Chain A
């Protein structure tokens, strides 16, 4: 069964405490993996697209990596404003897309 699983469901960190969020997937014919940030009451905001295993992308305190089975979103020295729900999505078979349920991240000051 094609699916995308994000872990953990929720994560509480102290400000400055680095960690990683995981997105594992089981699909055939990966076309791209997407990371989004979603704040309460808002639509998802695009962060990264990764296309092939070994690819990495960075933006400020965030770094996304991709393997053949999973992706990690590394957060380095997070700040309270990084608190949000982080969504992972996988496109496959050209016109199919599956979203994970997200990881709710809370950074304590």
Chain B
């Protein structure tokens, strides 16, 4: 299993500012994923981050708004840029199974970052 931590756990931000969320895993993993969970809605995949390559973004999400870094096999960051109240959500980091196959293994999730934009 993988233990995932996220920082910050929650934050309140002003519109127009940016927030960087950190995700740390206790073991080396090939694939890391960033999700958004809006109130009353399902988890939505934002992007997949592999170490050493550009993140792959899902439809509706763009790099300028959600830049992602993946400097090594245990760490990733997601930045929410130029925030608006619509960005208020829970942001979750997750990792795939030990073999790193895309979703066909157990997925482990971090505790989430609760973001409120005023």
Segment at the A interface, from B13-21, B61-69, B81-89, B106-114: B106-114
| Contact between A97 and B103, CB atoms less than 8 A apart | yes
| SS class, residues of chain A in contact with chain B | strand
- Interface segment out of the listed A62-70, A76-84, A99-107: A99-107
B112 surroundings in chain A (CB, below 8 A): 41-43
Contact A45/B109 with A99-B42, A99-B43 known, Cβ cut-off 8 Å: yes
Number of A-B contacts (CB under 8 A): 50
| Cβ of A78 to closest chain B Cβ, rounded Å | 23
Residues 32-70 of A contacting B (Cβ, < 8 Å): 32, 34, 36, 41-46, 49
Q: Mark B3-38, 1 if CB is under 8 A from A, else 0.
A: 010000000000000000000000000000000000
Residues of B within 8 A of A (CB): 4, 40-45, 48, 92, 94, 102-112
- Give me 14 A-to-B residue pairs in the complex whose CB atoms sit less than 8 angstroms apart, sorted by A's number: A4-B42, A31-B103, A34-B103, A41-B112, A43-B94, A44-B92, A45-B109, A49-B104, A49-B105, A49-B106, A91-B103, A97-B45, A100-B42, A101-B40
